[in-house]
Each structure stands twice: as C-alpha cells, then as structure tokens.
C-alpha cells in the first residue's frame, strides 16, 4: 500500500508540474493548427493506479472479498470526427489480487489468490479546444460502456471469476508537447455490478482509474 501511495503521489506531481510548463513551451514553439487539422485518429498508451472503492462481496458470516489497489495499464484509440467530438475504444488491464475481509470474530484468511482485471469500453469524448497559449491544453470529458472481466487464478468455491456490463465516465486533460505528441492525465470511474455466486446478491462496484500516458495524433 505504501508503494502504491508513492506511485500515486508521483503521478500527481508529474501532471501538476508538466501541464503549466508544456503550455508555455508549446505556445511559443507550435503554431496554431488550422481548422480541421486536429481531426482523425489518435492513440494513447496509458499507465497508472486501479483503486476499487467497494468490496466485491460483504461479510456473509465468514468473510467478504475485496480487491486492493494495484497498477493498471492499457491504451485507447480515438477517432476525432470534429474539433469537439470523438469516439474511441479503450482496453485496460491490471494484475490484481483478491483478499478476504475479516468478520467480527477475527480476520479472514488473507490473500485468496491472483486475479486479472480486464476492461474494454467504447467511449464518446467531448473536448474543449482553445486558441493562443491555451491551445496547448485540451480538457475533455468522456462517457461510455463495455465489459469488465475478472479472471481469478485459484480455488473457486464458490466461483469468483465473472464478466459484467460496465459503464464509465472520465475527466482529463491533454497537453500538446510537439506537433503530433501529447501527454494526458485522467481520472476515470468504472461502474459495474458484481453478482456473488454464493448468495446471488448483486453489489455495485466503483473502480477508480488514475492514469497518465503519451499519445500520437
């Protein structure tokens, strides 16, 4: 947990420190793009932190199940149809673990085993374009839907692996570094329902992804 907190702080420092400097630099070095030149395909490689906010299952007399924070990586391909709107496909992956949440009578059995967190979504993105020095910064909002897949590697009694529909929304900013290279920082919420195989009870999951990345357009 201490290692993840340090990584998270590092990501925020990079995002906070790079944005103002990049804005001033690109305002001097990069001429304003003519109308229509910022449409077309764009690809970003991403890395960051996955922070689940809810337990997968609650205590049912023995122990509940939680997925601790872990690293996350992925990529997104977006096609910008106009200066304001784009549609993209995103894939995210985390080599996570599952742990037991102890009951009131004591702690659970600890780590249950390794799991894979995989998400694939189609996103509609809206961006704010500006002219002059502000044009180096590109705030955006995105929303979409897809699937979340949990693949557990261990004894599954009851089964823990699941594939569930997922909705997602995010806020972020792109920073113009060169004529075709961009830096990006993003905060994303990925919401889905996990159904316990032991009780058939469904539980809302909110998985927060904090990522940075570099891309080409």
Q: Where are the domains of the chain?
A: 2-216
| CB of 128 closer than 8 Å to CB of 141 | no
Q: Please, what are the averages of pLDDT over each run of 10 residues along the chain (217 residues)? A: 48 48 43 58 96 84 83 97 95 92 59 90 92 74 96 78 94 91 96 82 91 94
Please give the backbone phi and psi of residue 177, each rounded to the nearest 5 degrees, phi first. Answer: -100, -45
The strand pair at 202-216 and 181-195 is best described as antiparallel
- Which of the 8 DSSP states describes residue 106? B
Separation of alpha carbons 114 and 156, rounded Å: 12
The predicted model scores a pTM of 0.77
- On whether the CB atoms of residues 205 and 56 are closer than 8 A, the answer is yes
CA distance 102 to 116: 23
Please tell me the distance from the alpha carbon of residue 189 to that of residue 208, in angstroms, as a whole number.
Answer: 5
Pick the CATH number of 2-216 from 2.40.160.20, 3.60.20.10, 3.30.2130.10, 2.60.40.10: 2.40.160.20
Q: Which of 142, 136, 140, 144 is nearest to 172 (CA)?
A: 140
């Amino acid at each position: 947990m201490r290692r993840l907190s340090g990584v998270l702080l590092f990501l925020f420092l990079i995002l906070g420190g790079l944005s103002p400097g990049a804005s001033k630099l690109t305002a001097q070095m990069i001429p304003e793009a003519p109308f229509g030149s910022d449409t077309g395909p764009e690809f970003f490689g991403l890395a960051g932190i996955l922070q689940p906010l809810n337990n997968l299952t609650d205590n049912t007399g023995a122990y509940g199940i939680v997925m601790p924070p872990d690293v996350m990586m992925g990529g997104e391909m977006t096609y910008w149809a106009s200066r304001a709107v784009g549609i993209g496909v995103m894939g995210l992956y985390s080599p996570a673990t599952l742990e037991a949440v102890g009951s009131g009578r004591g702690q659970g059995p600890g780590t249950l085993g390794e799991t894979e967190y995989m998400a694939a979504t189609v996103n509609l993105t809206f961006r704010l374009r500006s002219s002059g020095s502000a044009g180096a910064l590109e705030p955006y909002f995105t929303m979409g839907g897809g699937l979340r897949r949990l693949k557990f590697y261990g004894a599954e009694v009851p089964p823990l692996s699941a594939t569930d529909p997922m909705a997602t929304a995010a806020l972020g900013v792109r920073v113009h570094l060169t004529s075709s290279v961009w830096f990006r920082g993003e905060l994303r919420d990925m919401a889905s329902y996990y159904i316990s195989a032991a009780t058939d009870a469904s539980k809302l999951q909110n998985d927060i992804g904090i990522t940075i990345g570099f891309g080409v357009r």
